[in-house]
């Protein structure tokens, strides 16, 4: 079942045109010429219930603008969105009950009050019956491991703790869809993994649909079934992570362990990446492998040698490069 | 209704976090109370026949000035900076995607701050003023009218604030607009200088504007400059302006919700 249907979504923003020539400042003061720009430019996609979709792209690609339209806080310039059959901005209050929103860089928690106060208030705002509120709160406190800091003022929480609080806050009213904007930004590995496994769990158990924007490839690798890649307001790729790897991957790395490699004296094939003593050489075609090993063993003292599949990160880098970033 | 009450209570809890800040604010306000009283005492001591020409005695004027400072403390704080900050960093989304009415939500918040200010600022200050200075205070119906008038003044002030805050969503840069609002209210409401000291033509115009409903009317009621049938007239004046501004704010809110201009890509 398609829970989100976006059809030809466009969102225009206006920027003031900058006058040219002499007296620029003065002209700018009295100029009302506007330039319009499609931040989201005829975007169409559908999302099935229970999917985890990674919505990725460079900064300013139109990710947040799309999310804002799906959340019903921004009206599309043209095109339509339906979430569970509702047009979000036409029926904002009803829509609010079926979605939860988390922004990694901002918080909806009350900065100066104990964390629990924000939860209590949200329970009231969403008119949750007492038992259901208590049940949900206990459950999230348990799986997000929040009991030790429930009564700590939010300003004293670590970023990881605050993030868990924000995610619980977005889920207390049992929404069907969760929008996450960079949920793991700035977190350490432990905190990141805690949040990733939590998201997997609620997705599996409650069939919550998750739309996730991120610059953290780890999130996509671990969580997403599907990736939508957007740039300059347009969708450039939409499909499963496997298809993406096949289409934009299509290469492998020959990884050579050679401790006495010197960059200045090197005249062999180009080294794409270096991790400690490991050198990464790119192979577009499997037929190259044998000849490259031969070439390298002539030039280097090789301790170890492997062939590796590219990580999603590499695939995305490939995508970025192809669109000229 | 429960959600708005809960929001008021949470705001109330939130305002009580910084105790030292509160203490400083009370002291600050009390210094102003004394300063304004001294200024008007000095003016009356040097002005020939002021009491006669204005119909307000020196003591009445001192009361007006002191109460004006105290009343200032309960007027809702400006929300335009908060709103424009939220618009700029995008966290306005959290407020916009909740199942509540945006104006009611802001009113609940203002109400929380109001209760806090009455309990922690106004009551201690009133007690201090009553203990240290001789003032004339109203009784009976006049006192009741004053109380109603203060509530209406609060409402007026909230609505003006909210409308200016909505403009913050449209323009994102609000410092100028908010400054303009503050200056207009300070001067046109009678908060600093009572309207009867303005030139006739000016005060006649100001008496038709909503701003005088915030300070001039409640303060005049308190010192007994407005009495009898005029009391009802003035309360009605405040109520009518509240209604007009409420309508205006609903129209602006509806328009903004249709447009919803939120920055950030």
Using the beta-carbon criterion (under 8 Å), do B90 and A124 form an inter-chain contact? no
Q: Tokens standing for A161?
A: 């703790």
Q: Do A303 and A256 share a domain, yes or no?
A: yes
- Give the count of beta carbons closer than 10 Å to the beta carbon of residue A77: 15
A279 touching B (Cβ < 8 Å): no
Task: Give yes or no for a contact between A15 and A32, defined as CB atoms under 8 angstroms apart.
Answer: no
B96 touching A (Cβ < 8 Å): yes
A110 touching B (Cβ < 8 Å): yes
Q: Which of A9-18, A112-121, A158-167, A294-303 has the least mean pLDDT?
A: A9-18
Average pLDDT over residues B148-171: 91
- A 167-206 residues inside an 8 A Cβ radius of B: none
Instruction: Please report, for the domain that includes residue A204, its CATH number.
Output: 3.40.50.300
Closest by Cα among B260, B264, B85, B262 to A60: B264
What is the radius of gyration, based on Cα positions, of chain B? 20
Domains in chain A, number = 2
- On whether residue A283 sits in a domain, the answer given is yes
What pLDDT, on the 0 to 100 scale, is given for residue A126?
A: 94
Task: Give yes or no for a contact between A252 and A262, defined as CB atoms under 8 angstroms apart.
Answer: no
Identify the band that residue A28 occupies on the pLDDT scale cut at 50, 70 and 90. Answer: low
ipTM field: 0.84
Among B18, B93, B257, beta carbon nearest to A101 = B93
**Residue A154 predicted with pLDDT over 70:** yes
**Residue A21 predicted with pLDDT over 80:** no
Identify the band that residue B21 occupies on the pLDDT scale cut at 50, 70 and 90. Answer: confident
Task: State the Cα angle at B210 between B206 and B212, rounded to 5°.
Answer: 55
**Residue B175 predicted with pLDDT over 60:** yes
| pLDDT tens per residue across span B231-262 | 999 999 999 999 999 999 999 998 887 776 54
Among B5, B91, B97, beta carbon nearest to A96 = B97
What pLDDT, on the 0 to 100 scale, is given for residue B264?
A: 41
| pLDDT tens per residue across span A56-94 | 888 888 888 898 889 888 888 899 999 998 988 888 888
3-class secondary-structure state, position A42: strand
Q: What percentage of chain B exceeds 90 in pLDDT?
A: 55
- On whether residue A144 sits in a domain, the answer given is yes
Q: Do A119 and A65 share a domain, yes or no?
A: yes
- On whether residue A315 sits in a domain, the answer given is no
User: Which residue, of A217, A246, A275, is where some domain finishes?
Assistant: A246
Average pLDDT over residues B37-45: 92
CA distance to A157, A164, A202, per residue, from A149 (Å): 8, 11, 22
CB < 8 Å & 24+ apart, contacts of A287-291: A289/A254
- On whether residue A44 sits in a domain, the answer given is yes
What pLDDT, on the 0 to 100 scale, is given for residue A325?
A: 54
| pLDDT tens per residue across span A225-256 | 899 999 889 998 899 888 887 777 777 888 88
What pLDDT, on the 0 to 100 scale, is given for residue B170?
A: 76
Among A39, A106, A153, beta carbon nearest to B91 = A106
Average pLDDT over residues A15-35: 69
What pLDDT, on the 0 to 100 scale, is given for residue A138?
A: 96
Q: Do A223 and A209 share a domain, yes or no?
A: yes
- On whether residue A233 sits in a domain, the answer given is yes
What pLDDT, on the 0 to 100 scale, is given for residue A298?
A: 83
**Residue A29 predicted with pLDDT over 90:** no
| Chain A positions in Cβ-Cβ contact with residue B173 (cut-off 8 Å) | none
Q: Do A269 and A235 share a domain, yes or no?
A: no
Using the beta-carbon criterion (under 8 Å), do A112 and B17 form an inter-chain contact? yes
| Chain B positions in Cβ-Cβ contact with residue A92 (cut-off 8 Å) | 96-97, 99, 257
Using the beta-carbon criterion (under 8 Å), do A72 and B93 form an inter-chain contact? no
Give how far A152 is from chain B: nearest CA, Å. 13
Q: Do A206 and A298 share a domain, yes or no?
A: no
User: Which residue, of A231, A246, A261, is where some domain finishes?
Assistant: A246
Give how far A273 is from chain B: nearest CA, Å. 32
What pLDDT, on the 0 to 100 scale, is given for residue A186?
A: 86
3-state secondary structure B39-96: HHHHHHHHCCCHHHHHCCCHHHHHHHHHHHHHHHCCCCCCCHHHHHHHHHHCCHHHHH
Average pLDDT over residues A35-56: 92
Q: Do A6 and A140 share a domain, yes or no?
A: yes
Give how far A297 is from chain B: nearest CA, Å. 50
Q: Do A221 and A125 share a domain, yes or no?
A: yes
Identify the band that residue B263 occupies on the pLDDT scale cut at 50, 70 and 90. Answer: very low
Q: Tokens standing for B188?
A: 């046109």
**Residue A16 predicted with pLDDT over 50:** yes
| Chain A positions in Cβ-Cβ contact with residue B260 (cut-off 8 Å) | 73-75, 89
Q: Do A276 and A186 share a domain, yes or no?
A: no
User: Which residue, of A203, A231, A246, is where some domain finishes?
Assistant: A246
A212 phi-psi bin (left φ>0, alpha ψ -120 to 50, beta other): beta
Q: Do A90 and A134 share a domain, yes or no?
A: yes
**Residue A289 predicted with pLDDT over 70:** yes
B150, B151, B155, B160 alpha-carbon torsion, rounded to 10°: 10
Q: Which of A148-152, A200-204, A304-308, B150-154 has the least mean pLDDT?
A: A304-308
Residue of A nearest to B18 (CA): A112
- On whether residue A29 sits in a domain, the answer given is yes
C-alpha–C-alpha distance, residues A160 and B218, integer Å = 51
**Residue A137 predicted with pLDDT over 80:** yes
Identify the band that residue B109 occupies on the pLDDT scale cut at 50, 70 and 90. Answer: very high
Report how many Cβ contacts below 8 Å link chain A to chain B. 92
Q: Do A203 and A73 share a domain, yes or no?
A: yes
C-alpha–C-alpha distance, residues B41 and B60, integer Å = 10
Q: Do A115 and A233 share a domain, yes or no?
A: yes
Q: Do A215 and A277 share a domain, yes or no?
A: no
- On whether residue A51 sits in a domain, the answer given is yes
**Residue A201 predicted with pLDDT over 90:** yes
**In chain B, how many H helices and how many E strands?**
13, 0
Identify the band that residue A174 occupies on the pLDDT scale cut at 50, 70 and 90. Answer: very high
Task: Give yes or no for a contact between A62 and A233, defined as CB atoms under 8 angstroms apart.
Answer: yes
User: A98 is in which domain, residue-wise?
Assistant: 2-246
C-alpha–C-alpha distance, residues A87 and B145, integer Å = 48
Question: Rounded mean pLDDT of chain B?
Answer: 89
**Residue A279 predicted with pLDDT over 90:** no
**Residue B265 predicted with pLDDT over 50:** no
Task: Give yes or no for a contact between A56 and A213, defined as CB atoms under 8 angstroms apart.
Answer: yes
| pLDDT tens per residue across span A255-276 | 888 887 887 778 888 888 888 8
Q: Which residue has the higher pLDDT, A16 or B109?
A: B109
- On whether residue A219 sits in a domain, the answer given is yes
Identify the band that residue A32 occupies on the pLDDT scale cut at 50, 70 and 90. Answer: low
Identify the band that residue A323 occupies on the pLDDT scale cut at 50, 70 and 90. Answer: low
Closest by Cα among B143, B142, B148 to B227: B142
Q: Which strand ranges, in their side-by-side order, compose the sheet holding A34-48?
A: A34-48, A2-16, A78-83
- B 6-35 residues inside an 8 A Cβ radius of A: 6-7, 10, 13-14, 17-18
């Amino acid at each position: 079942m398609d829970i989100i249907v976006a059809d030809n979504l466009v969102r225009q923003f206006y920027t003031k045109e900058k006058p040219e020539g002499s007296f620029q400042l003065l002209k700018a003061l009295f100029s009302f010429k506007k330039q319009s720009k499609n931040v989201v430019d005829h975007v169409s996609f559908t999302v099935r219930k229970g999917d985890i979709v990674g919505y990725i792209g460079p900064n300013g690609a139109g990710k947040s603008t799309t999310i804002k339209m799906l959340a019903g806080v921004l009206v599309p310039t043209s095109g339509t969105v339906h979430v569970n059959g509702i047009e979000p901005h036409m029926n904002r209050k009803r829509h609010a009950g079926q979605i939860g929103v988390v922004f990694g860089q901002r918080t909806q928690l009350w900065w100066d009050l104990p964390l629990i106060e924000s939860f209590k208030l949200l329970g009231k705002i969403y008119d949750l019956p007492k038992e259901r509120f208590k049940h949900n709160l206990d459950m999230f406190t348990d799986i997000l491991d929040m009991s030790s800091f429930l009564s700590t003022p939010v300003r004293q929480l670590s970023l990881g703790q605050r993030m868990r609080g924000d995610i619980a806050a977005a889920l207390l009213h049992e929404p069907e869809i969760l929008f996450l904007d960079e949920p793991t930004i700035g977190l350490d590995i432990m905190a990141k993994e805690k949040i990733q496994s939590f998201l997997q769990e609620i997705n599996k158990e409650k069939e919550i649909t998750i739309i996730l924007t991120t610059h953290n490839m780890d999130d996509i690798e671990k969580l997403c079934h599907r990736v939508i890649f957007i740039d300059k307001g347009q969708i450039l790729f939409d499909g499963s992570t496997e298809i993406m790897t096949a289409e934009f991957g299509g290469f492998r790395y020959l990884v050579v362990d050679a401790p006495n490699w010197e960059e200045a004296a090197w005249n062999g094939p180009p080294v794409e990446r270096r991790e400690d003593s490991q050198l990464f050489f790119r192979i577009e075609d499997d037929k190259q492998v044998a000849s490259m090993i031969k070439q390298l063993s002539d030039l280097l003292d090789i301790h170890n040698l492997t062939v590796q599949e590219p990580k999603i990160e590499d695939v995305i880098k490939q995508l970025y490069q192809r669109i000229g970033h | 209704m429960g959600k708005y009450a809960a929001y008021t209570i949470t705001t109330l809890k939130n305002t009580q976090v910084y105790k030292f800040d509160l203490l400083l604010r009370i002291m600050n306000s009390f210094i102003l109370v004394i300063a304004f009283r001294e200024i008007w005492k000095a003016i009356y001591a040097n002005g020939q026949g002021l009491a006669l020409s204005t119909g307000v005695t020196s003591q009445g004027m001192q009361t007006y000035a002191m109460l004006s400072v105290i009343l200032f403390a309960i007027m809702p704080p400006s929300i335009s900076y908060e709103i424009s900050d939220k618009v700029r960093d995008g966290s306005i989304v959290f407020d916009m995607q909740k199942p509540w009415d945006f104006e009611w939500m802001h009113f609940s918040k203002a109400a929380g701050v109001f209760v806090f200010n009455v309990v922690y600022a106004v009551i201690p200050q009133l007690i201090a003023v009553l203990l240290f200075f001789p003032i004339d205070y109203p009784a009976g119906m006049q006192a009741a009218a004053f109380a109603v008038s203060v509530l209406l003044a609060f409402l007026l002030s909230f609505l003006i604030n909210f409308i200016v805050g909505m403009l913050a969503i449209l323009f994102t840069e609000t410092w100028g607009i908010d400054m303009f609002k503050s200056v207009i209210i300070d001067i046109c409401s009678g908060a600093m200088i009572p309207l009867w000291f303005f030139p006739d033509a000016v005060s006649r115009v100001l008496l038709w504007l909503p701003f005088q409903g915030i300070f001039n009317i409640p303060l005049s009621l308190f010192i007994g400059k407005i009495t009898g049938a005029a009391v009802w007239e003035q309360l009605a004046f405040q109520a009518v302006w509240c209604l007009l501004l409420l309508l205006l704010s609903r129209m602006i809110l509806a328009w903004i919700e249709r447009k919803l201009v939120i920055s950030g890509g």
